[in-house]
Structure 1
Amino acid sequence: MHITGILPARWGSSRFPGKPLHEIAGKALIHHVWDRCQQCKMLDDVWVATDDPRIEEAVRAFGGKAIMTSDSHPTGTDRLAEAIEKLPATTHVVNIQGDEPLIDPALIDELATLMTVEPELDMATAANPLDPSDPAVGDPNVVKVVTAIDGRALYFSRSPLPYFRNQVAGLPVYRHKGIYAYRRGFIQQFVAWPPSLLEQAESLEQLRALENGASIKVIPTHDTAPGVDTPEQALEVERILLSTSS
């Protein structure tokens, strides 16, 4: 078994072009995420998968490893599929978002460990518990997930999920966190399937996996570290980094 951490990092972004190289607290955003991954104990290797030579050059300059991929991939999973074709030793992949500079290395290790315990599991991901009264529950930019008793995902949605027609004490709402672990063979199967109807309706590629009968294990986590989608969020993350290092 060989578990590889892959950080997808593309240049194009309608809200934040060049985001991976945006400087935060003296380092490029992607450099911060790379450094977090170096603290992991369960990853055998870490690579940045990018579509732009400027990102590739920057990653190599700070001592990282980068794989060039196409700039026309419709999903992050398609980018992973191309990357692992160049990594024949890889049996399992943890997809770490390249815009989460505060990601907890322990969460990455937890997902990697799960794949060693259940090596035939198709996918694994994570979710934060939310209070049902939290305004985020109604925010379509916040993806929710409900699970079966054994922790496997039943459905992901941008709508409030579940809908509380009746108040049920102790039933949490889970906010999906965009980190995934995959079995190599499943990634190759996933990208061979056409985009599914639910995936297109919700704009959530993980629904393609569920619609095709895949099993996705969801780990509850209290890692609520914010990602960076806008320059304003970059400033907030910089404030957090500077305050914790002082």
Structure 2
Amino acid sequence: MKIIAVIPARYASTRFPAKLMQDLCGKTVITRTYEAAVQSKLFDEVFVVTDSDLIFNEIESQGGKAIKSIREHESGSDRIAEAVANMDVDIVVNVQGDEPFIDTDSLQQLITVFRNDAENKVDLASLMREITDDSTIENPNNVKVVVDQSQFALYFSRSVIPFSREKNVGVRYFQHIGIYAFRKQALMDFYSLPMKSLEASEKLEQLRYLEFGKRIKMVETSHIGIGIDTEEDLFRAREMWNSNH
């Protein structure tokens, strides 16, 4: 089974323009993320796929592997699918470009899903963590997921799901963490399928997979990702890097 990591890396960012090219203690954020993925030793190869000449040149100048997107893309899945279309791979793991502190254990759990899936019942695997605070549950920026008894996703939403009409029945709430591992075929199917109403309404690409019958296995984790979305996040990341090295 050949397993690769792909790091989609857009240059533009609404909240923090050019965040991936910011300095994180001597190297750019995207380079730190790339190196962390390589050093995890979980992948046969690691690639950055980008729409930016700056990011492409940055990775290549550091001895890394970069792919330039040919088309404009609406989602990370689309960008990754274009990049891997002609690669002979089995599993593609989407690593977030703005999260240089990679949680190796969580990524290993996603890979293990496919190693244990002898009957090929899983199309994608992704992460979720339990949330209990009402403000976190109700925040539409936090995507919630509900699962069946086998931990396959039933639905994702920015709304509160499930709605708690009856209290004290043991309902748990889970926030989706947007790190995915895909079978290559599921990714290529996504690339050829149209956006439907649920995805368009919620602005959640994972709903396209569900709308077309793909099975998403969710893995519970306690890991809280450290993404760099603001300048304040970058300052905290620098402090964390310095304390760990």
Q: TM-score range by the shorter chain?
A: over 0.9
What is residue 143 of structure 2 aligned with on the other side?
A: 143
- Note the aligned Cα RMSD (angstroms): 1.6
- AA at the equivalent of 1:99: D
Superposed CA deviations along residues 206-241 of structure 1, whole A, max 9, x for unmatched, are 001111111000000111022112222222222222
Contact kept, 8 Å, 2:85 with 2:188, in 1: the verdict is: no
- CA distance in structure 2 between the aligned counterparts of 1:139 and 1:195, rounded to whole angstroms: 25
Helix, strand or coil at the partner of 1:38: helix
**1:128 has 2:95 as partner:** no
Alpha-carbon shift at residue 104 of structure 1 (Å): 0.2
- The residue that corresponds to 1:35 in the other structure is 35
Matches within 5 A, 1:71-110: 72-86=72-86, 88-110=87-109
Number of equivalent positions: 243
Q: 3-state SS of the aligned residue for 1:219? A: strand
The Cα shift of 1:71 comes to: 5.2
Question: What TM-score, normalized by structure 1, do the two folds share?
Answer: 0.93
Instruction: Note the alpha carbon deviations across 1:192-216, whole angstroms, 9 max, x for none.
Output: 1111101011000100111111100
- Measure, in 2, the Cα distance between the counterparts of 1:51 and 1:33: 17
Which one is further off, 120-129 or 27-36? 27-36
| Superposition deviation, residue 40 in structure 1 | 2.6
Relative to 1, partners in 2 of residues 1:177 and 1:103: Cα closer, same or farther, differing over 3 Å? Answer: same
Q: Distance in 1 between matches of 2:30 and 2:238?
A: 13
**Displacement after TM superposition at 1:15 (Å):** 2.0
Residue 111 of structure 2 aligns with which residue? 112
Aligned counterpart, 1:10:
10
Letter in 2 for 1:102: F
Q: Secondary structure at the match of 1:229?
A: coil
In 2: Cα distance, 1:167 partner to 1:35 partner: 47
TM-score norm. by structure 2 comes to: 0.93
Amino acid at match of 2:83: A
2:201 is equivalent to residue 204 of structure 1: no
Q: Tell me the alpha carbon deviations over residues 170-194 of structure 1, each in whole angstroms, 9 at most, x when there is no partner.
A: 4321111010011111111111111
8 A contact 2:144–2:176 mirrored in 1:
yes
What is the rounded CA distance, in whole Å, between the counterparts of 1:64 and 1:46 in structure 2?
8
Supply the AA of the counterpart residue of 2:29. Answer: L
The answer (yes or no) to whether the contact 1:144–1:158 under 8 Å persists in 2 is: yes
Runs of 5+ consecutive residues of structure 1 not aligned to the other structure:
none
Change in 2 beyond 3 A, CA 1:166/1:100: same
* Structure 2 counterpart of 1:144, one-letter code: K
CA distance in 2 between counterparts of 1:103 and 1:173 reads 24
- The percent identity for this pair of structures is 37
How far residue 95 of structure 1 moved from its aligned partner, in angstroms, is: 0.6
Q: Is the 8 A contact 1:40 1:109 kept in 2?
A: no
- Give the Cα separation in 2 of the matches to 1:104 and 1:223: 7
| Matched residue SS, 2:93 | strand
For residues 149 and 15 of structure 1, the distance between their equivalents in structure 2, rounded to whole angstroms, comes to 38
The answer (yes or no) to whether the contact 1:43–1:109 under 8 Å persists in 2 is no
Aligned partners of 2:33 and 2:102 also within 8 Å: yes
Cα distance in 1 for residues equivalent to 2:225 and 2:93: 18
| Residues 110-119 or 2-11, more deviating | 110-119
Q: Distance in 2 between matches of 1:19 and 1:70?
A: 22
User: 3-state DSSP class of the match of 2:74?
Assistant: coil
- Which residue in the other structure is 1:176 paired with? 176
